[in-house]
Amino acid sequence: MEVTRRGLMASVAGPFLMQRRAAGPRPNIVLVLADDLAAWMTGCYGNREIRTPNIDRLADAGARMAQSFVCTPASSPSRATLFTGRTPRQHGILDFLTDTPAAEPEQGQKAPPESFAREAMLSELLAAAGYRCGYVGKWHMGGDERPGRGFEFTATLRGEQYEDPQLTVNGSAVSEKGYLPEILTKYASDFIDQQQKDRPFFLTVAHVNPQPPYDGHPQRYTDPYRDARFETFGIQPAAANALRGKEYLEDPVPNIRKCAAAVTALDDQVGALHRKVIGRGLFENTIFIFTSDNGFLLGRHGLWSDGHASHPVNMFEEVMRVPMIWSWPGRIPVQAVRPELVSAYDFLPTLCEAAGVEPPKDRNLCGRSYLPLLLNQPLPRKSPWPDLVFG
C-alpha cells in the first residue's frame, strides 16, 4: 500500500520551544502498546464519542504524529516490526501467530521462522547499553512464556481473558484475580518501584484492550456508553461477504459500546502509569510513548475488525493508521502535532537515537529516525522527510 501526504497542517501549539538540555544520563523509556486501537478511536485524533482524557493529556504534554502507520494490519507482524525496525518480509512474521491458522480465507501463521531468533530487537540493543528491560502484557511474537530478548523481567499472558487472567512471570505460571488492565499496571508499577536512578530502564506495557471479545469490563466503563449511538462513526451496512466478525456487525452499536468501554478502561491505565512515573520522581528524564499495533474498523466500510480478520482482508487507512504519541519533558515541545508520514519501521531508529544507542548496521533497515521532527529541529536540505510509507 502507498499512502501519499494528506496536506495536514502542522500545529505546534505553545509559542516557546523548550531549550534542549545539556547531555545527561540516558533517559528512561516507557512504551505503552495497545491492541487493535486505531488512531481515529481516540479524542486527540478527532473522536468525540469515545472518552480518552488521559491519552489526550499525554498528547498535550508532548508531540503527536498525525500520520503514523503500521506495516500490516495484524498484531504479530506489527509488533515484530516495532521492535526490530524491519518489515514483515524481512523478519518473517507475516501474519498473526496462532495454533489454528484459517484456510478460507488464508489467515494466520503457526510460528515465527527460525531466523526470527537472530533478529536484533530493540530491547537487546538497549540492554547492551546498560538499560534494565521489563515487559508486561501481551507478547505474541513466539516464545510468549519466556521472551528473553534482553528483558530481565517479563510478565506475559497465557490467554487473553479480561477477568482473572493467567500469566507467566519470569517463566513461572501465575493465576491472578481481578481485571487484567489493572493487573498489568500493578506489575508495571512494581517494576518501576524496583529501579535505581543510576541505571536507565526500558519498560513495555502491552495491553489487550480494546481487542475482542468485549466481555469482562467493569460496569463503571460500560455505563457511560449505555445510550451512545456513535452517529459520527460512519457505520455502513455489513458487506455481503463479511463472514468473520459477523456477530458484531449484525447489530454494531451495542458492540461498539463495549469496545468504547474497553478503550476508556485502557485510557485509565495510561493515566495511572503516567502518574506512577511522576510520583517516583522520574518524570523529567523519562520518555513516555503511547501507540498501537494496528487499527480497527468498527463498522466502517461494512466490516468490523482489523485488516487480517475481515473477509475480504483489507488495508483501509483505518486499520493501518495508529496513534503515536511521545512525551519527553524539556526536550519535546508540548502540544506539538507533526504532519509527516511515519511508519512502524521508523520507530527503532528513532528510539535508538533518543537513547544514544546505535541501531544495527547489518540489518538493512529501511526506516529513519524522526527524532528531529519530535524535537522540532530542521532536517538537512539534502535529506528531506519522505512523503511515502509502505505496507
Is residue 10 very low, low, confident or very high in pLDDT (cuts 50, 70, 90)? Answer: very low
Per-residue pLDDT for 5 more than 50? no
Q: Exposure of 110 by Cβ count < 10 A (0-12 exposed, 13-18 middle, 19+ buried)?
A: exposed
pLDDT at 307 exceeding the cut of 90: no
Q: Residue 304 to residues 160, 241, 252: CA-CA distances in angstroms? A: 20, 12, 8
pLDDT higher at 5 or 324? 324
Rounded-to-integer distance, Cα 14 and Cα 249, Å: 43
DSSP 216-266: T--HHHHGGGTT---TTS---PPPTT--TTHHHHSSHHHHHHHHHHHHHHH
Mean pLDDT of 125-136: 98
The pLDDT confidence band at residue 137, using thresholds 50, 70 and 90, is very high
Give pLDDT tens digits for 54-96.
999 999 999 999 999 999 999 999 999 999 999 999 999 999 9
Residue 279 has pLDDT above 50, yes or no: yes
pLDDT of residue 81: 98
pLDDT higher than threshold 50 for residue 4: no
pLDDT of res. 244: 61
High-pLDDT (> 70) share of the chain, %? 92
Burial class, 185, CB count within 10 angstroms (exposed 0-12 / middle 13-18 / buried 19+): buried
Q: Residue 23 has what pLDDT? A: 54
**Residue 16: is its pLDDT beyond 80?**
no
Distance CA 17, CA 59 (A): 16
Residue 142 grid cell:
513466539
pLDDT confidence of residue 14: 34
What pLDDT, in 10s, does the model give residues 227-241?
999 999 999 988 766
- Residue 173's pLDDT is what? 97
Give the pLDDT score at 239: 75
- Dihedral of CA atoms 1, 8, 64, 149 in degrees, nearest 10, equals 20
Could you give the percent of the chain with pLDDT greater than 90? 80
Give the integer Cα–Cα distance in Å for 106 and 271. Answer: 39
pLDDT, tens digit, for every residue of 164-205? 999 999 999 999 999 999 999 999 999 999 999 899 999 999
pLDDT at residue 107 in the model: 84
Helix ranges (H only) for the chain are 53-60, 75-84, 88-91, 122-128, 180-193, 219-222, 246-249, 252-279, 317-320, 347-355, 371-374
Q: Confirm whether pTM is higher than 0.75.
A: yes
Mean pLDDT of the chain: 91
Nearest to 39 by CA among 332, 386, 300, 296: 296
pLDDT digits (tens, 9 = 90+) for 341-375: 999 999 999 999 999 999 999 999 999 999 999 99
